[in-house]
Structures are given as C-alpha cells and as structure tokens.
A and B are shown apart, each in its own frame.
Chain A
Amino acid sequence: MSAFKSKRELRKILNRVLEELDADPKLGPKLRAAGLQQRFEISDLGLVLNIGPGDESVERLHWKFSDKIDWKPKLTMKMSADVANSYLQGKENIAIAIVRKRISTSCDARAALRYFPANRPILDRYSEIVAKDYPHLAI
C-alpha cells in the first residue's frame, strides 16, 4: 500500500503541478522551451504520465495520463508510487536510485543532460503542493 490514498490522488496532484507550472508566466515558458518528452510510469498504481513538447503557438505544455501520444518519449522513468513521492519531493537522488533499482530509466544522452535540471521546477512545485494540501505525503 502506498502513501497515496489512490491512483486518482497522485494523478490529481501531478495534473495540478503541470497546470500551475504551465500557467506560471516565468516557469511555463521555460518548461515549454526545455522541450520535455518524458514518460513517468508508476508501476504499482498503473499510472502513466507523458509530458510532451510544448506548443509555442498556443503557449501550452502537453501532457497525458496515457500512452496514446503523438510524440516519442526521450526519457522514461519507472518507479513505485512511494519512490515517486520521494523523488518528486527531491528526496531521492536519481543516480543512486537507478543503481539501487528504485527507479529504472531509458533515455538518450541529450535528454538526460537537459531534463534533469529542467525537472527541478516540477519537483519544487510538487513539494509546495504536498506541504500545503497533502501533508500525509510530506517526507
């Protein structure tokens, strides 16, 4: 049993993180410009989140909670819900988590170079939301 009350709860938080970042006048354009093509798979909850390249013409970041997407992920991260909660609060060192098999990844080198620093706002916003509205998930 994970710290999340349900799959729906995690999905709701992630959706809120991305909505808030997308609407943020400073972070939104940065995140879109990073050109993320990243897939999160939360194995024990059966949750998939695909973040796609931003569409500058409509100034929107694309994300979908399914694999029915028209872009190819460049970075895939697979982990359990508890590890996801820890990683998203910046408490999980990605490189060490990979070695300890807590997170598995597949990616190209350029994506790794670009995405991990670009993920920082997602982690920061997730931590803020958890601290404020989901204290049972705070680590």
Chain B
Amino acid sequence: MDAEISLAEASRRAGVSTATLKRWAEEGLVPVRDGRFTAAAAAQGRVVARMRERGYSLDDLREAAQDGRLAFGFSEELFPGVEESISPAEAAARTGLEAELIERLMTLLGTPVGREGTLNAADLKAMEHCASVLDSGFPLIAFLQLVRVYAQSLRKIADAEVRLFHVYVHEPLMRDRVAPLDMAGEMEGLAADLLPVAAPLMDYMHNRYLRFYIEQDVVGHMEEGETRTQRGLTRVKMALCFVDLTGFTRYTEEEGDEEAIDLVERFVDSVEATLPAESTIVKTIGDEVMIVSRDPVTLTEWAVGFLGLFQERPRPRVGLHYGSAVYRDGDYFGSEVNLAHRVVNRALGGEVLVTEPVRDAIKRSEFLDFDPIGEVNLKGFPAPVELYVVRQAAD
C-alpha cells in the first residue's frame, strides 16, 4: 500500500497550497484514506491542478474523480518531473550544436523549444546524443530524416500504449467501480511492471529489424536501380504495390464499424503472415496496404496467390507498378508511387492489375499469364497507361 506522506510534502508534489489540497481532499477531488495523504493522492492533486488550469470546473473534476477518471496520476511517479531549465543558447554551448539546429531537432521531436521555451535535463542529454552522432560523421540530412522517423514511430507507439492501457486496464477498473485510491495503486503497479520491459522489447525488435534490413541492403547493392535526384534524394527502383478490399465502405455500412475493423485487422494480419521475406509493408491506411519489394517477380506471384485465397466479398484487389520512387523518412514518394495507387483503383475485386514495367521485368513466367486490357486513362497522368490483368497460368 502507498506510504503516508505529510500534507506539506503532498502539497509540494501537487504544486498547490496545503489549504487548497486539503479542501480538494474534503471535497472528494483527491482520494485520501482516513485523512492521510499518499503519493497517489498527491499525484492526483497535480492532475486536478492541471485540469483546473485548462478550465475544468470543480464540479466536473469531482465527478471525474469519483468515477476514477483522474486515477492516472501514477504517471507522475513513473516520469518524475525534471526541474532544470536550459535555454537553447546554453544547450548549444554545452553540446557544440548550433542553437538553430537544437530548435529544429526539438521541433522534429514534437517538443518545440518555441512552445516550451527551454530544454530540460533529459532534452539536453538527447541533444548530447545527437551531437555524438553528427560528430561521428553521419550526414546531417540523413540524421534529420532519421530523427523524424524515430519521432513519428515512437509517437505512434506511445499513443497506442496509452490508449490500449486506457481501454483494457483503466476502463474495466472504472466499470468495476474500484475505489479511486485502489484504482490508482493498481494502475501504478501494472504500469511500473510494464514500463521497464518496454525498452528492452523495443531494443530487441529494433535489432531484429536492423539485421533483416542490413541483409536486404546487401542484396540491394548487388542489384541496379539506386540513383540520386538533383537535390541529393535517393531514388530506388522498387516494385510498388497497393492492396485493398473492394466494397469495404459498403461492407462497413452493412456490418457495422466493429465488424469492419475486425476484418481489416485480420486482412492486414494475413498480408503480413503471407508476404515474401524480401517484401515490406510500408504503411496501412484503413483497408489499404502499401507494400514494396526489390523483386517484382515474387511480389506479383504473391499477389496472385494471395488473391486466390479470397473467394467471397469483400475481395481484395492489387495494383502493381515497377519504377523508381524517392525514398524519404521511411516512406516512398513520387509519380511512380502515385501511378501504382491509381492502378489499384482500376482493379476489380479479386484482380491483380499491373503496368507494363512489371510485365517486362517478369518477362516469361511459367506460373503467370498476362492479359492486356489496353491503354487506360488514369487520373493525374497525361498519357494512357498500358495495363495487364495477371492470373495464375492455365494448366
């Protein structure tokens, strides 16, 4: 159980006067047991103070406190506040980075100095790591992209962690009407158990993926297709593939959101479970999956085989193009990507539609048949594009 702390200490931690904290406790805004303050109570006091600053009324907060909606004060204990305040100029002097670059990095990390004004000790430590990377000779242009990818990915991870914790831990406790103080204790205990394993788990996954992509890079070096744009961006020749579910909007209307989400999850799981090793899912947007591969042959074979598994609606469809895309921030851009996206929009359910470069790259296949459907006008492209339906070769 949470150890008792003095009212003065609780008030210091909550950042409000002892009189205010005492009043909040009396009004049920802050959970105390037999009039005794604990770390969890102080943490909730801090949450109440913040919510007050955001304009929430005491009545709203009292109701939220009674439902246990404010019981996330445990995070205050897990992430102790950093009181040090360092200006960008001072950080520049201590790290050797230019103040402008520090501001740029902090903006990429989603904590613009402009918004918070200063850096804390953890920010400074991060800037020191950044300085070490740049000192080692890693190009700034590449490093900035890397920081952007780190920030975007980790922001998504943290958001998912908090949302899932809320849905699967906090809400069930609220539904069970667990007392706020017990709820806070339970959540703090679970979060304290989970947090230390998150970093090693991510480290493990990072190493695992790093190893895989280093191998892929070696394969890439053995093949042609990597060029530079005039502005120094990398262009890579890839098979660019989009897969989605036809009639998904109608399916959602008929079956409801939950059934549709379940379908999408299982659809994406199936793509992941069956995709050839050399192919990569770049992103998923709703029911749409973007995949790239250096090997147009196996990706096309996969697409035809994968679609063969789906005989009922909503059936997936695939659009494939083989061309040079600009690689930036972990994603692929450019007109060749847009073309692949347009191609999938022209495909019917259960159909794999490819462009001529895909057919040319595959040349002859004993497993695939290409049926030309003629030149097709695709939105945004000035000239018609020759498209082919690919099927499993007839016996």
Contact = CB atoms under 8 A, between A and B. Distances in A.
Contacts of B308: 95, 98-99, 105
A100 interface: yes
A122 B167 CA distance: 31
Interface string B244-273: 000000000000000000010011011011
A94 B306 CA distance: 8
| Most interface-central of B267, B298, B306 (chain A CB within 10 A) | B306
Contacts of A110: 312
Contacts of B87: none
B266 A114 contact: yes
| Most interface-central of B275, B276, B308, B392 (chain A CB within 10 A) | B308
Interface in B264-310: 266-267, 269-270, 272-277, 298, 301-306, 308-310
A109 B315 CA distance: 8
Interface string A53-96: 00000000000000000000000000000000000000001111
A138 B348 CA distance: 41
A97 B301 CA distance: 9
Given A95-B302, A99-B301, A112 B273 contact: no
A57 B311 CA distance: 32
A93 B297 CA distance: 14
A101 B391 CA distance: 13
Given A108-B311, A112-B310, A99 B304 contact: yes
B367 interface: yes
A113 interface: yes
Given A95-B302, A97-B305, A109 B310 contact: yes
A120 interface: yes
A3 interface: no
A131 interface: no
Contacts of A107: 309, 311
A17 B243 CA distance: 34
A53 B304 CA distance: 29
Contacts of B174: none
Contacts of A100: 301, 367
A109 B276 contact: no
Nearest to A104: B308
B270 A113 contact: yes
B309 A95 contact: yes
A105 B263 CA distance: 21
B242 to A, nearest CB: 16
A96 B270 contact: no
B169 interface: no
A96 B266 CA distance: 20
Contacts of B310: 109, 112
A71 B269 CA distance: 26
A109 B302 contact: no
B305 A99 contact: yes
B382 to A, nearest CB: 34
B267 A113 contact: yes
B368 interface: yes
Contact of B367 (A93, A94, A101, A108): A101
A98 B263 CA distance: 23
A109 B274 contact: no
Interface string A101-135: 10001011110111011001000000000000000
Interface in B10-39: none
A26 B26 CA distance: 47
Nearest to A103: B305
A8 B308 CA distance: 32
A116 B272 CA distance: 10
Contact of A96 (B263, B269, B276, B315): B276
Given A113-B270, A116-B270, A117-B266, A96 B312 contact: no
A94 B315 CA distance: 18
A109 B301 CA distance: 19
A99 B309 contact: no
A108 B167 CA distance: 32
B312 A108 contact: yes
Interface of A: 93-101, 105, 107-110, 112-114, 116-117, 120
7 contacts: A95-B274, A97-B305, A99-B308, A107-B309, A109-B313, A113-B263, A117-B270
Rank and list the top 5 A-B pairs by shortest CB-CB distance, nearest first: A95-B305, A98-B305, A112-B309, A113-B266, A109-B312
